[in-house]
């Protein structure tokens, strides 16, 4: 079983059976909220991957990889 | 429409005249329907229950479920559980359970700190544990190891058998 660190953008290339998010309730994202980062992760899972979130409530916060800011993601009707 | 809110402050421990207290800077209970986890994956987790003295991580006894154990006998281990799942549906596979998170030692009142949610052809694994200490990290690593060695096939078989 081989492990490696990888950016979110690499997980959709079909090379990983299991991906572990070590950032607990946050996940890496470009900009604020539900963007290309979440779309990449959800596509990875939908296509057959196993995504393990380490602790707390998954995808509660996005973490902007450029600014280092964390955002709580809420939807309203 | 999406609202973006800067990350809320966390819960900190402090002492007042020698008495340990919790300093909660902000404490907002958020509707599950407003969160990505519910909207995209259909999963709701438990929140704090101050009326039951459940605030933040709580140490309980957990057991791994058969899908990770295979032929091995279940063992009970202590872990600090945070945001467990209570309501299980057809798409949610329990990987570990505990029966005393709600202060009731009742097997019928089970909570699930670790579950796999079926999404398309894959799974999101929710780990409802506090990873502030080495013990919980070791439990998580053990779960990941079991998942990779045997659980992966079991999860795939679970999806096919549905």
Answer whether B148 sits within 8 Å of A49, measured CB to CB.
no
Q: Tell me the shortest Cα–Cα distance from A5 to chain B, in angstroms.
A: 16
Strand partners, B87: none
Q: Tell me the shortest Cα–Cα distance from A29 to chain B, in angstroms.
A: 13
Q: Tell me the shortest Cα–Cα distance from A9 to chain B, in angstroms.
A: 18
State ipTM. 0.90
What chain B residue is nearest to A42 in terms of C-alpha separation?
B119
Question: CB-based burial of residue B72 (10 Å sphere; 0-12 exposed, 13-18 middle, 19+ buried)?
Answer: exposed
- Report the residue from B34, B83, B130 with minimal CB separation from A75: B34
Q: For the segment A11-67, what is each residue's pLDDT rounded down to a tens digit?
A: 987 789 889 998 888 899 887 777 899 999 999 999 989 999 988 889 988 888 888
Model pTM score: 0.81
- Report the residue from B37, B120, B152 with minimal CB separation from A47: B120
């Amino acid at each position: 079983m081989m492990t490696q660190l990888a950016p979110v953008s690499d997980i959709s290339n079909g090379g990983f059976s299991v991906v572990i998010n070590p950032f607990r309730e946050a996940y890496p994202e470009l900009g604020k909220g539900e963007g290309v980062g979440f779309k990449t992760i959800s596509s990875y899972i939908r296509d057959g991957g196993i995504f393990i979130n380490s602790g707390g409530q998954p995808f509660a916060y996005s973490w902007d990889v450029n600014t280092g800011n964390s955002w709580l993601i809420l939807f309203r009707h | 429409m999406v609202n973006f809110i800067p990350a809320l402050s966390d819960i900190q421990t402090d002492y007042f005249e020698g008495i340990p207290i919790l300093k909660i800077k902000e404490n907002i209970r958020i509707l599950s329907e407003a969160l990505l986890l519910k909207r995209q994956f259909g999963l709701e987790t438990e929140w704090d229950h101050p009326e039951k003295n459940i605030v933040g991580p709580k140490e309980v006894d957990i057991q791994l479920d058969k899908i990770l154990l295979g032929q091995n006998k279940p063992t009970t281990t202590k872990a600090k559980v945070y945001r467990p799942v209570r309501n299980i549906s057809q798409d949610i596979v329990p990987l570990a359970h505990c029966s005393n998170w709600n202060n009731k030692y009742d097997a019928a009142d089970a909570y699930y700190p670790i579950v796999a949610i079926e999404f398309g052809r894959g799974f999101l694994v929710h780990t409802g544990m506090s990873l502030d200490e080495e013990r919980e990290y070791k439990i998580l690593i053990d779960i990941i190891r079991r998942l990779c060695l045997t659980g992966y096939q079991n999860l795939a078989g679970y999806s096919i058998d549905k």
